[in-house]
Structure 1
Amino acid sequence: MSWTKSIKKYNKEAKMARIAVFTKYPESGKVKTRLAKDIGEDKAARLQKEMTEFALSNLWPLISRGHKLEVRFDGATLDQMISWLGDGLEYVQQGDGELGVRMARAIADGLKKDKEPVIVVGSDCPEINAELVLEAIEACKHSDIVIGPAFDGGYYLIGMKNFEPDLFEHITWGSSTVFEETIRKAKKLGLSVCSLTLLKDVDRFGDIEIFDKAKRKIGWQGLPFISVIIPTLNEERNIAKTLENARGVKVERIVADGGSTDRTRDVVKKCNVKLIYSKKGRAVQQNAGAQYAKGKILLFLHADSSLPGGFDSAIRQAYVNNFSFGTFSLGIDASGLGFRATEMIANARSKYLGLPYGDQAIFVDKKLFEDVGGFPIVPIMEDFLLIKNLTKESGNKPTILPQKVMTSPRRWQQYGLCKVFFVNQLIILGYYAGVSLEVLAEFYKKPSMQMGKAIVYELLKKFLHIKNNA
């Protein structure tokens, strides 16, 4: 069964759920101790790091279906976890006690928060994916307990819709009888149980091949960190939604504010993302954000635009395919044939001429961005000029991904579709005719017939000059 069909099948029936992923901070000498005896402490820590990232990336698609995902961590501070996995995840300390106590706590907390099924999974089983978790969520409708048995005698998943604390008491945690003891305890308590597919955890040297096979199956090559940089100026209405849609695994979100006088900064602070203060100007603000970015990939996003679901996976796939820079396709968040036509024209321009605009969200390798000096400090067309510089430096056209960034229709609605289209074209032509960027910026802010005529006049002079020299 294909992934898409599986999602549709389970999404029709399944309840919403909270998925708690248990993991340990990958500190050498403190994780995978059995494996460390064979491969060394540093390699064991790297394996722990990679397996956690693999598990989270496999489960992240559930977010777009309305499910909730949290990381139950141990062995680190919250700041350490954010530095490792980004600020877009929900983090909760596992707390004290043996494994059973910590799992019981996670389930009790989740049911108290949402009153929806809670699924607890480990990060040690590479074959756990979104489809399997959807199956577990569906099973919660008909069974008191759903459990995924592991070959070592434990289990890789447990889920329930009602809290049953006695289920976790008097179990020999860490032994090869955990699953058997849990099943016996469930029967004794009169609980119905649904058992999932038997899978293997990665605990010993011979198990590593299971993880390698799982990676090969989906072509997984790791998760380069992505920094999403958002310039703002009085965007209190849009910024919360923009930040919510910019969440992902190993993604950080940076807001570079240019002096907002509304509640933009207050809204950003409540979202617990990095907020920096900058001088006004989109180019200046985006460059300032890039200086604070830790990602290998920079993604510049306008504050009134929303990234598509799976944006991080799409960018990373392009990264694997040796992209230098690129954008998404354009979508306008409004209905009507005029808006669809505008999208088609913009996307054709991007694809065939290699000239996307900033409202399509520019992503770029950080080193290449630094090599060209970042965004040119100009009053307008900083995105256009950056694309030109990146194209020249890399020798490649931008990668245009098919997924759409949905941008606000507010400018089109304010001035009208046709007027905005012609203003945009006049600005580009005016640039090539040598009209100053200051004049073009003023025309963009307050498009008037008088300024439009002046730009057309400059175009005609340029045309006539070329013709006289021919």
Structure 2
Amino acid sequence: MSSSGISVIIPCLHDEEHLDRLLLQLRLAESETGTPLQIVVVDAAVSERCQALCRNHDALWSSATPSRGEQLRQGAALSAHETLWFLHADADLDRQALMAVSEAIEKGATGGYFAFRFSDTNSWQGRLIERLVAWRNRVGVPYGDQGIFAPRTTYFAVGQHAPWPLFEEVPLVKGLRRQGIFQRLEHGLRVSSRRWQRDGWWRRASRNRLLALGFMLGLSPFRLARLYARRNVTGSKPRDTSRLG
């Protein structure tokens, strides 16, 4: 077990186009900072293209069933370094992201996340959503697309991600906050707006809030995931029902 490196865990479901860019960004950051990286891709589509990308970027590939919580737990079980960093395949990293995670852990953070910012839009809708998510993070929890990270021992001590298809990070974040400083990092990671623009800014925002309300009222994450799946138009590829934001 290495204390100086970071295990990056990426759940994937038909995200190869974005995954290729992310893997390249991670390897470039590794070479620039000298921080050893283990990259674990947990693929719920069991895609040959995903396997090829992992070979090209020296990443560990693992197959899984489509459930983000289960995928994240499976990736954590395969980790080799003492710091765990959970990323969505369509995350867009700045050069300083890797160093920011390392420094936060070295200074004693029990975990952390990145401020929510879009990578590909400067629209007023996007800026407003960013501000609303920042407010939500203060009174609630950040979601998985904000790059949650934690020391490996602390992650397992507080119970890991829940094995759910939605809201799997909620018990984890609450547990990490109880352990000490759960650090917000201002810069280094941005998220894609493609799902927001595809679904409509306010339709997606209201849908996410309704799902969150249902979860707060005690509805099962599995039931909420089925309700979300039925509300979406089925395309040529299955929707990842665990993507909130």
> Normalising to structure 2: TM-score of the pair?
0.84
Tell me the equivalent position of 2:236: none
- Specify which of 265, 268, 292 is matched with residue 51 of structure 2: 265
Change (3 A) 1:373 1:295: same
Counterpart code for 1:266? A
Aligned residues: 225
* Alpha-carbon distance in structure 1 between the residues aligned to 2:147 and 2:97: 10
Displacement after TM superposition at 1:436 (Å): 2.2
1:413 aligns with 2:190: no
* Alpha-carbon distance in structure 2 between the residues aligned to 1:274 and 1:317: 25
* Alpha-carbon distance in structure 2 between the residues aligned to 1:365 and 1:438: 28
Matches within 5 A, 1:283-362: 283-335=69-121, 336-350=123-137, 352-353=138-139, 355-362=141-148
Matches within 5 A, 1:422-441: 422-441=206-225
Q: Give me the CA root mean square deviation.
A: 2.0
Tell me the equivalent position of 2:241: none
Tell me the equivalent position of 1:68: none
Counterpart code for 1:264? C
3-state SS in 1 of match to 2:186: strand
Tell me the equivalent position of 1:389: 175
* Alpha-carbon distance in structure 1 between the residues aligned to 2:115 and 2:165: 24
* Alpha-carbon distance in structure 1 between the residues aligned to 2:204 and 2:198: 9
* Alpha-carbon distance in structure 2 between the residues aligned to 1:397 and 1:384: 16
* Alpha-carbon distance in structure 1 between the residues aligned to 2:141 and 2:181: 9
Displacement after TM superposition at 1:397 (Å): 5.6
Tell me the equivalent position of 1:8: none
Tell me the equivalent position of 2:226: 442
3-state SS in 2 of match to 1:381: coil
Change (3 A) 1:357 1:229: same
Displacement after TM superposition at 1:273 (Å): 1.5
* Alpha-carbon distance in structure 2 between the residues aligned to 1:277 and 1:443: 26
* Alpha-carbon distance in structure 1 between the residues aligned to 2:214 and 2:60: 37
Bigger Cα Rg: 1
Change (3 A) 1:411 1:445: farther
| Higher RCO structure (Cα 8 Å, ≥6 apart) | 2
Tell me the equivalent position of 1:254: 40
Structure 2 residue runs of 5 or longer lacking an equivalent are 233-245
* Alpha-carbon distance in structure 2 between the residues aligned to 1:235 and 1:420: 20
Displacement after TM superposition at 1:404 (Å): 4.2
Structure 1 residue runs of 5 or longer lacking an equivalent are 1-82, 85-222, 449-470
Displacement after TM superposition at 1:314 (Å): 0.8
Displacement after TM superposition at 1:224 (Å): 2.0
* Alpha-carbon distance in structure 1 between the residues aligned to 2:97 and 2:16: 23
The answer on whether the counterparts of 2:5 and 2:36 sit within 8 Å (CA) in structure 1 is yes
The answer on whether the counterparts of 1:242 and 1:306 sit within 8 Å (CA) in structure 2 is yes
Shift >6 Å, 4+ stretches: none
1:228 aligns with 2:12: no
Change (3 A) 1:436 1:239: same
* Alpha-carbon distance in structure 2 between the residues aligned to 1:438 and 1:289: 21
Counterpart code for 1:299? W
> Normalising to structure 1: TM-score of the pair?
0.45
